Amino acid sequence: MQRIVRSVCSMLAVVGFLLTMGGFTAAAASPAGEDPGTSAVSCSGTVSYSRTLSSGVGELAIFYNSSNGGTNSACFYHRGASYGVAAPTYVRAYRCVESSGEGLPCTIDTSSSADLGDFAYYAGPRGVTGTANRCVAAVGYIEWGGLRQQISSGRQGC
């Protein structure tokens, strides 16, 4: 029980700090003509997809905002026992060819770069632009307990 209370207090402290400091910020926007998979993104906006691993150690979230003809970004968060513990963590976002069929496999039109590293809190943000009227997808994982625990969103935001 004390562990849960400490985890909740730690998360509240981080949220409070981020709110005080202005939250997450995005890098400068990409120059015209640059691949839409490399445009500036952030893990903020409207949550269009969120799923937590059954083990409770990770969560994949996709966010949407209307800038740049629609921008979707993905982050993979450490949750539960993995929160604050460095572990191999990965996330990547995709813009699909399709404009319907939520949950079905995505035919990839373009993808973000991958974010992979030994992170303690989250991987990402990684995102794609030009997603208005298009489906998006994301994949994220954490290596925890000797296993790669992965979430693949399928088409979302269609």
Q: Is 40 contained in some domain? A: yes
Residue 15 located in a structural domain: no
The total of structural domains in the chain comes to 1
Let me know if residue 113 belongs to a domain: yes
* pLDDT number for residue 41: 62
Q: Could you tell me if residue 2 is inside a domain?
A: no
Model pTM above 0.85: no
Say if 94 falls within a structural domain: yes
Tell me if 148 is assigned to some domain. Answer: yes
**Greatest mean pLDDT among 5-14, 18-27, 65-74, 103-112:** 103-112
Per-residue pLDDT for 55 more than 60?
yes
- In the predicted model, is pLDDT for residue 53 greater than 70? yes
The answer to whether 85 touches 120, Cβ cutoff 8 Å, is yes
| pLDDT reported for residue 68 | 87
E strands, the chain, are: 46-52, 58-65, 71-78, 87-96, 108-111, 115-119, 122-129, 136-144, 147-152
pLDDT in tens, 103-156: 999 999 999 999 999 999 999 999 999 999 999 999 999 999 999 999 999 999
Q: Domain range holding 140?
A: 29-152
Identify the band that residue 57 occupies on the pLDDT scale cut at 50, 70 and 90.
Answer: very high
CA 142, distance to chain mean position in Å, is 12
* CATH for 136: 2.60.40
CA–CA separation, 52 and 45 (whole Å): 19
Structural domain includes residue 14: no
Residue 72 has pLDDT above 70, yes or no: yes
- Answer yes or no: is 10 within a domain: no
